[in-house]
Amino acid sequence: MLIVTEETCRKVMTRPLAYEAVEAVFGAMARGDAWNFPVVREAIGHADALYGFKSGFDRASLVLGVKAGGYWPHNAGKGLTNHQSTVFLFDPDTGQLSALVGGNHLTALRTAAASAISINHLARKDAKVLGMVGAGHQSQFQLRAAAEQRGFERVVAWNYHPDMLPNLARVAEELDLPFEAVSREELGAQADVIITITSAHEPLLMKDWIRPGTHIACMGTDTKGKQELDPEILAAATVFTDEVAQSITIGEAQHAVANGLIAKDHITPIGAVINGVHPGRTSPAEITLFDGTGVGLQDLAVASAAARDAGEKGIAEEIML
């Protein structure tokens, strides 16, 4: 059994590796070769923590496992990340534990890979301006991964807490992209691609602010009650997601579905585009939207790639159970 620590994950997991692993599993999900099991998420009545499991099986790449962890809101005061997780991988032939993989760094990379995949498959090829809504921990990973997908010339950004924007500005500077803090309306008027990655519980972008041809990767809404967009945007857009069942229950589409603006069949798994079954964007004026809810199979895919790479490089500890 391999132990792949957070530090080892940082050494072996790259953005291209994460992109490749997540794209492959989205394709497998859309073919019916991989599926996620029901998510467990519970308030444990201690330390204000939310704890749970995300699990699944990818029969195409034979990856079986579970990500266990959750959200401990008081960790920051202890110098720890609030989101904590560990991935357990099992041998699908025997059920034996094959690897324990630190899940914190991998979660950020697999989430950024998902929106990057959506940009690559759905954004206009001539997209020049990237709009960032959110400036927290995930946003920096999102910006780096998105910047690799198109020839962006500048970044415009808005955040609820403006004092956090310099963290994102520093990443843009590293990437040699001019950065400007703007209002939400200006962001909609200027951006060709928009990433939302906040913990908002109400719409941050209104439909009238979004231009034809925009691609939106809506990444922050991963729980019932969270919301980042005016539901009318989903009604006007061609909507894609990682998993339709999550999109309509805990993803951004929960609100448009609850309001009766769209039905489940308005939403396409992005794997169908990856597999060439759905054309994706069909016109330069179309608004495309990716509802990235975060599925367990994404975690298992990147954890498996990290374990394989660390094993091959001999930098994972091997123990007998």
Residues annotated as catalytic are 67
Q: Is 286 exposed, middle or buried (0-12, 13-18, 19+ CB in 10 A)?
A: middle
Rg for the chain (alpha carbons), in Å?
Answer: 19
Dihedral sign of CA atoms 294, 53, 107, 92 in order: negative
The contacts of residue 211 (CB under 8 Å, 6+ apart) are 188, 189
Angle at 108 between CA 304 and CA 311, to 5 degrees: 25
Nearer to ligand NAD, 92 or 136 (CB): 136
Give yes or no for a contact between 112 and 15, defined as CB atoms under 8 angstroms apart. yes
Asked if 138 touches ligand NAD (CB under 6 A), the answer is yes
Choose the stretch contacting ligand NAD; rule: CB under 6 A; options: 2-10, 33-41, 195-203, 301-309.
Answer: 195-203
Q: What is the DSSP letter of 39?
A: P
Q: Does 52 bind ligand NAD (CB under 6 A)?
A: no
Kindly indicate which of the ranges 25-33, 122-130, 160-168, 281-289 contains the residues binding ligand NAD, using the contact rule CB under 6 A. Answer: 160-168
CA dihedral 70, 75, 81, 87 (to 10 degrees): -30
Site string for ligand NAD, 299-318 (x = CB under 6 A): --------------------
Site for ligand NAD (CB under 6 A): which residue of 134, 213, 231, 280? 134
Which listed residue (139, 241, 246, 288) binds ligand NAD by CB under 6 A?
Answer: 139
Among 5, 97, 160, 169, binds ligand NAD (CB under 6 A): 160
Distance in Å, CB of 114 to ligand NAD, minimum: 6
How far apart are the C-alpha atoms of 272 and 252, rounded to whole Å?
19
Residue type (1 letter), 212: P
CB 295 within 8 A of CB 66: no
When asked if residue 296 is in the footprint of ligand NAD (CB under 6 A), the reply is no
Query: Which of 20, 180, 186, 222 is the binder for ligand NAD (CB under 6 A)?
Result: 222
The count of chain residues that interact with ligand NAD, using the rule CB under 6 A, is: 24
Give yes or no for a contact between 13 and 145, defined as CB atoms under 8 angstroms apart.
no
Taking CB under 6 A as the binding criterion, the range among 1-9, 121-129, 144-152, 158-166 that sits at the site for ligand NAD is 158-166
142 Cβ contact partners less than 8 Å away, ≥ 6 residues apart: 111, 112, 115, 132, 134, 195, 197, 217, 219
Name the segment binding ligand NAD (CB under 6 A); options: 122-130, 178-186, 199-207, 301-309: 199-207
**Which residues, 68 to 127, sit near ligand NAD by CB under 6 A?**
107, 111
- Binding residue for ligand NAD, selected from 36, 84, 118, 198, defined by CB under 6 A: 198
Residue nearest to ligand NAD (CB): 136
Enumerate binding residues for ligand NAD (CB under 6 A): 107, 111, 134-139, 159-161, 164, 197-200, 204, 219-220, 222, 226, 292-294
